[in-house]
Amino acid sequence: MPNSIALAMLLVTGMLLAGAAELPYGGWIQIPLLSLVWWQISTQANPSIKKLFLLGLSFGLGYFVLGLWWIYISLHDVGGMHPVIASIAVFLLATVMALFFSTACLILRLKKNRYLSGLVLASSWVIVEYIREFIFTGFPWMGFAEAQVNGPFAWVAPLLGGLACTFLAVWVSWEIFQLKKNFFFSATCIVAAITLSQLASLWSFTKPTGEPLSVRLIQGNFKQRLKFNPESIEQQFIFYTKAIESQAADLIITPETAYPWPQSNLPEGLLQSIQDFSTNSASNVLLGVIGETSNTQGVQYSNRIQGLSPNRAPYQYDKSHLVPFGEFVPPGFHWFVNAFHVPMSDFARGKLDQAPFSIERLGQETLNAAITICYEDVFGEELASRIRKSIKPVNLLINVTNLAWFGNSQAPKQQLRLSQLRSLETGLPGLRATNTGLTAVVGPDGAVLAELKQWTQDTLSTKVQAYAGTTPYVLWGSAPILTLSTLLLILGWIRQRRI
């Protein structure tokens, strides 16, 4: 068993690594901190599988408890769950996430090889992170890749995606740890990886298309505990409708569930009024509503974006990647949801192949936007697949969300970084309309171009340049980095067998 000091040190290092992600150059800072993890593990002489597992688990717990503590706000402060149960729930989720980190660390059990060890460790991390994106519906939040939007490996994202950024961050952190033993080789690897990654910024796979769009992103700033209050609902109807109809724009977007009421029960004439405004002002409008779908079980609600255009039939996008417990109830967990007082927490699931939203403009070519709702923009592989398979070319990304669930925490900044990573991967600008922040415009290079302050009721009015083209990551997805990682793991296993 590793001693308690080693476990405590790794726990603290994990917390430092999570905290570093929130800093301006977090992607740079995380790498030497990660090398500190390898040094701490190496102080355990010939650690067993059990020791490595516990050491990795301790590091992961520190990382995810700090990185995901905001879930407590949604469970207790907003959902009214008992503080003990809410705390246990957050700890259990952090533990499950930490299991992936501890599993990746098991590869350190292999005999050390001067040239291969760091590459094999990075490959193990990539495979585990890929699994984390899909198992139990997936929750790839707080990966190392998202911090790389402020790190040295951001420009690898359009080529090979976020997992490649993770690969390089882990590999370079290992070579930093090895500098004392193999200075020339490790220093060469570090310099080469960073230099080549920076040179990748010279390549551009997408280019501007058409005249810039006039865009209005509306931030209502309605507190979550009032979201489904009848009086507050009426205020939301009035505010968003007035905000939409106050000024024309090529594209007007409201946040997720801006109209928090089943679509068929919205005030009479509300949607028709907005449709008339759209037609008369040549504005395209996206509304966050509660949709309704009919199936064999009757009518079921959905988390929907309703699109209204001047000369097209109404568009709709139903969220396909639902949040466990918040938007669908896993079998056997109704008791948990009952303790978490959330109206309409069992939504219908939208299809994965829904068409993008077409944006009409007088005298201009039609542009198309890929829609995601809330944490759907966490899943880069899914978004890339949708764009790749879309019949219509996609020119920009739109994410609508409501982060009032998580209070004054780091969750909005975390999701903004994920949106930045999605823009980097696809080479497309991103628009984020949120209830309480952060409402923002992201460039195709991942840079934040415009942003509203959190906790303010305001509208972000700006011009946005659409882009056309396809990045290698959209074409190939994660297949290249997964193939490379698998081959390196096989090579590491073969060399281990020969020792």
> Residue range 204-223: average pLDDT?
95
- How big is the chain, counted in residues? 499
Residue 484: its pLDDT value, please?
A: 97
- Please tell me which residue in 133, 146, 374, 376 is annotated as part of the active site: 374
256 noted as active-site residue: yes
Beta bridge partner(s), residue 256: none
Beta bridge partner(s), residue 461: 216
319 noted as active-site residue: yes
Residue 345: its pLDDT value, please?
A: 56
Beta bridge partner(s), residue 373: 400
Under the banding of pLDDT at 50, 70 and 90, the label for residue 342 is low
Q: 367-373 and 213-219: which strand pairing?
A: unpaired
Residues 6+ apart with CB under 8 A from 3: none
Residue 331: its pLDDT value, please?
A: 55
- 411-426 vs 162-177: helix crossing angle, rounded to 10: 110
Under the banding of pLDDT at 50, 70 and 90, the label for residue 359 is very high
Residue 328: its pLDDT value, please?
A: 58
Distance CA 491, CA 499 (A): 13
Distance CA 320, CA 304 (A): 10
Asked if the model's pLDDT at residue 336 lies above 60, the reply is: no
- Please tell me which residue in 129, 146, 256, 381 is annotated as part of the active site: 256
Average pLDDT across the chain, whole number: 91
> Residue range 291-315: average pLDDT?
86
Residue 256: its pLDDT value, please?
A: 94
Six token digits for residue 498: 């020969």
Distance CA 269, CA 290 (A): 17
Domain boundaries, the chain: 4-204+477-498, 206-470
Residue 69: its pLDDT value, please?
A: 93
> Residue range 335-352: average pLDDT?
64
Residue 338's nearest CA partner among 440, 385, 346 is 346
- Percent of the chain scoring above 90 in pLDDT: 72
pLDDT, tens digit, for every residue of 115-171? 899 999 999 999 999 999 988 788 899 999 999 999 999 999 999 999 999 999 999
Residue 329's nearest CA partner among 315, 314, 319, 344 is 344
- Please tell me which residue in 129, 133, 319, 327 is annotated as part of the active site: 319
Tokens 């976020």 appear where? Answer: 162
C-alpha dist (Å) from residue 439 to 23, 129, 413: 19, 28, 10
Tokens 């005030």 appear where? Answer: 267
- Least confident range from 12-16, 102-106, 158-162, 335-339: namely 335-339
The most confident of 75-79, 374-378, 403-407, by mean pLDDT: 374-378
In CATH terms, 206-470 corresponds, of 1.20.1070.10, 3.60.110.10, 1.10.8.60, 3.40.50.150, to: 3.60.110.10
Under the banding of pLDDT at 50, 70 and 90, the label for residue 12 is very high
Asked if the model's pLDDT at residue 419 lies above 70, the reply is: yes
Asked if the model's pLDDT at residue 340 lies above 60, the reply is: no
Q: Are 218 and 240 in contact (CB under 8 A)?
A: yes
Residue 344: its pLDDT value, please?
A: 53
365 noted as active-site residue: no
For the chain, report the end-to-end CA distance as a whole number of angstroms. Answer: 26
Residue 224: its pLDDT value, please?
A: 78
Beta bridge partner(s), residue 468: 207
> Residue range 278-288: average pLDDT?
96
Q: Are 256 and 400 in contact (CB under 8 A)?
A: yes
> Residue range 21-27: average pLDDT?
94
Note the pTM of the prediction, 2 decimals.
0.93
pLDDT, tens digit, for every residue of 174-195? 999 999 998 999 999 999 999 9
Asked if the model's pLDDT at residue 437 lies above 70, the reply is: yes
pLDDT, tens digit, for every residue of 28-82? 999 999 999 999 998 887 778 899 999 999 999 999 999 999 999 988 888 788 8
> Residue range 262-282: average pLDDT?
92
- Least confident range from 125-134, 152-161, 220-229, 360-369: namely 220-229
Residue 75: its pLDDT value, please?
A: 86
Asked if the model's pLDDT at residue 347 lies above 80, the reply is: no
Six token digits for residue 483: 């193939």
